[in-house]
Amino acid sequence: MTNSMDEKLLRLHYIHPLPWQKIQHLLTLISDLDELRNLSPTILAMHLNIKQSTAASMIELYDKMQATLLQQYYEKHQIYAIPYTSKFYPLRLKEVFDPPAVIYAKGNISLLQEPRMMAVIGSRIATNYSENALKLLIPPLIQQKFVVVSGLAKGADRLAHEAAIRYGGNTIGVLGHGLFHSYPKENDELHRYMTEHQLVITEYPPYVGVQKWHFPARNRIISGLSEALLVTEAKLKSGTLITTELALEQGKDVFVVPGNIFSELSKGTNKLIKEGAIPVWDGHQMLAELQMFSNFR
């Protein structure tokens, strides 16, 4: 494995987690990632549009890690590292803008190959309205073997994961940080459970901590993995609407739970309906809509 493309890609990604597009761009300059050791920091910095000091550090660290077998290291921690070049890399993710160069996963890795996935998102201060809506919407999805995908954040994400588990289904959590970290703290128990019985994935190497700007970036993975997107509650300005925009750009169906016109958490969802999202109030209705407007069978 030492000389394989996968291992070289993992080594580079561990040092500096570049997205796949930048790695492709790098491979227009060099034919093999090991040639990175022979580049000057100036040329590398110009080619990748990064600081020269960062480029120098990348070259030095890549050289020092030549004898490191990262796949063995990840296996020791029960982490699956799936490079873009691997046959196990999810095909749907290859279709998103700027796909991750590597996916790090912990738990039931076979869930990534499931054909039916539904992203479920909403406010981090979701009310019992979201919880009650999911009681109607999630069970029919589970009956049809849909995997529920969400971001393992508090609020609607947590409710979505818990609903999938409660009704005997499967769920994938997409993190905005590395697998050695758990965030938010109130989800620690759920996070541990999912790494043992469900699946948690991230595009960041295990050591990477929580950074605010990572969370909008991970939203493209949530929508990218999924066949469609379901939104429960959302304010007019929220990360939920960013994810919705990504899903629309990816050509995904967007389903929205209509909300109370007096609630701030319904202003975003009701606006989505006005703009053409599909209003849903029953899981069987959502499945019928999917069958009508998508390739769902």
User: Quick check: 161 pLDDT over 70?
Assistant: yes
pLDDT at 295 over 80: no
What pLDDT does residue 183 have? 95
* Mean pLDDT across 33-60: 96
Mean pLDDT of 220-241: 93
For residue 146, is pLDDT > 90?
Answer: yes
The stretch 160-171 carries a mean pLDDT of: 98
Query: Is the confidence at residue 2, as pLDDT, over 70?
Result: no
Mean pLDDT of 122-130: 96
Confidence category of residue 45, pLDDT binned at 50, 70, 90:
very high
| pLDDT for the residue 281 | 94
Instruction: Give me the pLDDT at residue 248, please.
Output: 86
Q: What integer pLDDT is reported at residue 100 of this predicted model? A: 96
Q: Is the pLDDT of residue 65 over 50?
A: yes
Question: Tell me: the pLDDT tens digits for 266-279?
Answer: 999 999 999 999 99
Asked if pLDDT for residue 27 goes beyond 70, the answer is: yes
Q: Which pLDDT score, from 0 to 100, does residue 216 have? A: 84
Judged against a pLDDT cut of 50, whether residue 233 lies above it is answered with yes
Report the alpha-carbon distance of residue 133 to residue 284 in Å, rounded: 13
Confidence bin at 87 (pLDDT 50/70/90)? confident
| Residues 170-225: tens digit of each pLDDT | 999 999 999 999 999 999 999 999 999 999 999 999 999 999 888 888 999 999 99
pTM: 0.94
- Provide the pLDDT for residue 188: 97
Average pLDDT of the residues of the chain: 93
User: What's the confidence (pLDDT) of residue 293?
Assistant: 63
Predicted local confidence at residue 297, as pLDDT: 45
Q: Is the pLDDT of residue 251 over 90?
A: no
pLDDT above 90: residue 62: yes
